[in-house]
Structure 1
Amino acid sequence: MLAPREIDEYLLPTERRVIRVRQHWAVMFKHIWQTAVFILLVVGVEQYMDGSTTAAVDVLVDNLAFYLVLVAVLRFTALTILWWVERIVITDKRVMIAQGIIVHNVGMMPLGKVTDLTFQRSLSGRILGYGTMVVESAGQIQALNRIDYMPRPEEIYEALSELVFGEKGKTRATGALAKPRWRR
C-alpha cells in the first residue's frame, strides 16, 4: 500500500513539498449510501422470501444473500482503500495526484502552465469543509483540470495562488509590497 511518505519519491531534488492531502472524507458518502441501500435491499428480499418456499430454496436464498452482502462489503473496502492511498501533492514547481494500488497512476501539471485558479464550494462543502479546485492552463485541458472534494480549499487556494502568482502581498516583478486596493 502507498504510504504517505512514498509520494515523496516522485519529487525532484530541486523541489519542495508545500501541501500533501487526500480528498475530503465526504467523497465516501456516495459509497456508504450505495452500500447501505444495497445491503438493506438484499436483506429485505431475503427476509421476504424466508419461509415462503421450500427448505432447499431458503438455503439457496440465504447463501445468495450472504455472498451478495459480502461482495458489497468487499467493494466498499476496496473503494475506501483507494480513497486512503490517493494523494494530492502541491510542490513549489507542480501539482500532482497519485492514485491506485495495483496500477499506480501519477498525474502532474507544472505550476508555470497555470493561467487561472478557482475554487467552488457547494452548501454541503461549506458545512463539511471541502470544495472543488479548478486549475486552468493556457486554453488546454490538463489531467488535473478539476480536483473535487479538496479539503480546506481556502487554505490550499491561497497557498497555490502564492506559488503561481507570487508571494502574498508582493508583486511578482519587484518583490516589493503591493498597495492594498481596499481596507477591511
Structure 2
Amino acid sequence: MGFLAAVSDPHIGRHLLREEGEVIVDEVRKHWVAFVRPALEASLGLSALVAVPFAHVNLGWILLLACAGLLLHAAWLTLREARDRFVITNMRVFRVHGVLSTHLATMPLSRILDISVRKPLHGRVLGFGHFCFESAAQEQGLRDIRHVGSPDQRDLVIQRVVQRAGLRGPRVPN
C-alpha cells in the first residue's frame, strides 16, 4: 500500500462488529465532484508558483508563501474528502470522517425512519446527490451525507438491507 493510500484510508474494518456477523454491504466514497474545489485551489497555487520568477524581488517571497498556503489547503481539503466514508452494513449505517481526529456517527437500521435523496440539477447531470436521514432522535451525527455517487442505487441498497433485516414488515405479494 502506498503512502497516499495509507494516509487516506480511514480503516473501516476496525469499526465493524465482526463477532456479531456484521459485514459491509456498500462503502460509499465521495463523488469526484467533491474534489473539484481542491483541484481548483491546487491549480491556482501552481499557476501562481509559475509566476514567482517574474515577480518583483521584494514581493516574490509573499507570492511564494501564498502559493504554499494554497497548495497546503488544497491538500488538506483533498485528504478530508478522501477520508470521508459512508458505510452500509447488514446491521447499521455509519459515517467515518476526519483527518487528524476521526469522527464516527452510527445509526442502526431499525432507527432509520425516512431517507430523503436530494439531487440538484448539476447533480442529476453529473450523477450525484445528497442523503438526508430522518430518525426518531432530534439531534444525530448521521443526518446529511453529501456528494453520494449513484444516489438512487445506493438508496435501493439501503432499502433492500432494511427489508432483509425484517424491520419494515413482511412483503405483500401482488
Q: What is the one-letter code of the residue matched to 1:24?
A: H
Distance in 2, matches of 1:81 and 1:171, equals 36
Q: Does 1:29 align with 2:13?
A: no
Query: What is the aligned-residue RMSD (CA, Å)?
Result: 2.7
What CA deviation, in whole Å up to 9, does each residue of 1:30-81 have, x standing for no partner? 333455557768988996xx5xxxxxxx322011101111110111012112
The one-letter code matched in structure 2 to 1:178 is: P
2:9 maps to: 3
Give runs of ≥4 in structure 1 deviating > 6 Å. 38-47
- What's 2:26 paired with? 19
Matches of 1:2 and 1:108, distance apart in 2: 21
User: Match of 2:4?
Assistant: none
Q: Which residue of 2 aligns with 1:178?
A: 173
Percent identity, please: 26
Distance 1:26 1:71, change over 3 A: same
- Give ranges in structure 2 of 5+ residues lacking alignment: 1-6
Aligned to 2:17, what secondary structure does the other structure show?
Answer: coil
TM-score (norm 1): 0.76
In structure 2, the partner of 1:135 is: 133
For 1:149 and 1:80, how far apart are their aligned partners in 2? 14
Alignment of 1:74-113 (within 5 A): 74-113=72-111
Which residue type is aligned with residue 11 of structure 1? L
Decide which of 59, 62, 80 is 2:60's aligned counterpart.
62
Shift of 1:134: 1.1
Report if aligned partners of 1:171, 1:177 keep a CA contact under 8 Å in 2.
no
Instruction: Quote the offset at 1:162 in angstroms.
Output: 1.7
CA contact (8 A) 1:131 1:153 kept: yes
For the structure 1 residues 32 and 126, does the alpha-carbon distance in structure 2 shift closer, same or farther, using more than 3 Å as the test? same
Q: Specify the alignment match of 1:146 in structure 2.
A: 144
8 A contact 2:45–2:71 mirrored in 1: no
- Cα 1:3–1:43 change in 2 (3 A) is closer
CA distance in 1, matches of 2:49, 2:23: 50
- Cα separation, 2, equivalents of 1:103 and 1:172: 36
Normalising by structure 2, report the TM-score.
Answer: 0.80
The residue number in structure 2 matching 1:119 is: 117
2: CA distance between counterparts of 1:84 and 1:139?
29
Q: 1:106 to 1:171 in 2, by over 3 A?
A: closer
Distance apart, 1:97 and its partner CA: 1.0
